[in-house]
Structure 1
Amino acid sequence: MKRIPEFAPYPLARETRYSRWFAGAVGLLALLGIASVLPPSLVAPHLVAFTVGGMLLSGLLAFLIHVLYFRFNRHNAQCYGEAVEREQQAWWLQHRQKVAMVESVLLSASCGSPEDLDGLLDPSKQPSVARETGEGLVLRLLQVFGHDAKQREQELATLLALKWGAQRSTDQSLTPSSCYWHGSQAAWRAFVEQIAQCCPDVHLPEYPQIWDGILSLDAIIDQLQGAPDGARVLCAGCQSSSPDRASSLPAGEAAVLWLLGAEGDVAFFRGEWFSQADEDLATVAERAVEQSLLEAPAQTCIAFSQPHVPDLAAIGWDAKTNAQDANFGALEQLEAMVVQTLAAWYVQQHGVPCAWLASDPHFTLTLGIVRPHESGS
């Protein structure tokens, strides 16, 4: 997970022990009293008075310096603590920043629109039937006819552009401030060419930025903070996985598109990531809940199963009930965008927060919560 800034405690001076200073002063006064009753032939009175008086003044000065040092030390410690608190509050303020999903598209063998969500979350409904090939089981879109993954992803990109163009409700010109793409450059070119035909008012760059999982989402949230209301970031991708007989899942394929902005009905938080090396998964999950300003985990969690994370059940998120493995198959690095899209659709339809959980290119696991924008403000 992203570490909150931690600071060493301020070194505190020992508290002034007034009883010791008082005992020392009494001892000097007693010494002065004893010397005053001794015969002058033994001790010169003026010398004793000068010596004891000097010691008393030196002790008083040392006492005042010690008290002042202690008070300044406590004052500095208080200022240091307040500065640490401000720094951590600023960190949390940034960590809780979010973006809004303005438009979305998800295409797969079992899903083509938000209306399909109920079927995907209904355990009594049979998922799409995987097809047997010579290399293994596959889940494929019927509208895609390519034989290899490269060709199929280009066709998926064309379908994605057609679907987005058909559902766009405005002819207003759109030039995204940034574009992120998961997939090959050839598939991006196919997407751009089709967009140019069906949506000439949408202007896309020749070369997009590479979608890098939760790190890209983090960068987009930074980019859209304080941006104009009309600012948009396009995130899209296509994945056609190759069949693998060693895998327990059929090879899936899907295409996803997000149009993100600063304001909208559905809020995407930064999410959290988990690395098995040095983190506790339950702590990461608690941080995701805290990040989204909830007191308890969202009741619904849309996820892909993570067999390499054995302690997943300990976090208190119901990641099994709505697991999407059977509906989508193996999607490799696209599965996070898929479950985030489904979670956003769930929030749109039900008006309550929805959790998501998936793998990531850089981390063992990523997880987060999508929630209605107004309740997360």
Structure 2
Amino acid sequence: MKLFRIFLTILIGIFIFGCSTKQPVFKIDQYVWPKESANPKFKAVRVIANSEEFPGKASSKNRLLQELVGDINVKWVDYRAIRIATDGRGKVYIAAPIAFKIQIIDFIQKEIRDIRFGSIMPCAIDVTKDGRIFIGNRSGGNVMEITEDKKVLWSYGRKVNDKDFEKLKAEKKFDVDGLYKDISDVLVYKNKLYVADQIFGRIDILTLDGKFIKSIKKVPAPTAIAIDPQTEDIYAVSKFIGKVFIYDKDGNFKGELLEPGDNIWALNFPNGIDFDSEGHIYIVDIASNGFKVYDKKGTFLYYMGAQKPSVYLGGFNNPKDLVIDDKDRIYVLDAPNKRVVIFQYLGELYKKGRRNMTVDEPMLRW
């Protein structure tokens, strides 16, 4: 009997230890919206797409879609688009480098219009609240400020050709100021412009009139960048490595977050990153067909998508990018579905907005 008690105690101890060290099991049903058990903290606000994507839109069974699609005079959102930005005041900007154009979704004029270029390939884009437009140019390897009538206000940098690039690789010189190989993202924060090059592994910091300030070097293949509004730390996500790398506002390395993998909580092929007002990290993951939300410790909180290509509301088809405005509206570039899907994060900022709602918000449907 005594031996049996000892054996039982050991068995219980092994079980407790095993439970304490076992990796958490995430049930997909807990995280995929719009399942009821997900208890989502998001609501869909608008879908900007050609109405032909929604069969039976006029049917009484699809009142939600009628409301979401809205009254935009729609042309196709370009399926080749790769980056999205917003001024948060009524305009959304979409960069489509292969098409040599920027698309503007204008909620005030209720239209989508194109800015077409002859030789400029806008591969990255960001805008200020007052409408200043900054782009990365894939063909010229430069970053520039432009106007909606295609006037170039300034330009910085140039593209290194393949021959010179091979020479730089041989000499291990990847810190040459003003040279770019693959501009992957641009970001405006306060009075500075941040430019990421995922081949050179560098984030350049410029003034908003194109003057070089400094570089953050040896950044592992930065695909997209964001700045934490609470700490001003710089976050760089890499789709090739499947991790997030963190730097302080002076460019000093602080650490890394997350791991690559096929699991729902891991990074499969991340391509865009941003923060909401409460400091949650949003990452759009192409291969996972959705976006994921984490806290700043890297704890997985939420997944929005269907884990496979989907045209239905709540699902995506290899989404390319996302951006969050100052009212916690989340704009997801669902390019292969030729649409932009806008969500509202239901946080404290949203609750405050409900109390202080005004009529001059062309996008806002509280």
Larger helix percent? 1
TM-score band by shorter chain is 0.3 to 0.5
Highest Rg: 1 or 2? 1
Structure 1 length-normalised TM: 0.32
Higher relative contact order (CA 8 A, sep 6+): 1
